[in-house]
Amino acid sequence: MIVLTKLNNALIAVNSDLIQYVEETPDTVITMTNNDKVVVRESMKEIIHKVVHFRRYISQLIESEYERQRDKI
């Protein structure tokens, strides 16, 4: 999940796996896979950065767990 800011300054956590696409119109609009739309303050570039950072973090957790399990054997 990534944390973003709605136009009213409320924070929202978005499941980045469910993002279908992001547009800047000029507001940043995220369209989810179920066609729900969320308008946020962050730019498209910031959202992409947050998604990449989150996925790298998850990959590191998986790799660490794999190594921990391997060391048990």
Tens digits of per-residue pLDDT, 42-51? Answer: 999 999 999 9
HSE-CB at 24 with a 13 A cutoff on CA atoms is 9
pTM: 0.86
Pairing mode, strands 37-40 and 2-5: unpaired
* Lookup result for tokens 């000029």: 26
- Flag residues of the chain having pLDDT under 70: none
pLDDT of residue 61: 92
pLDDT of residue 71: 79
Sequence-distant (6+) residues with CB within 8 A of 18 are: 32, 33, 34
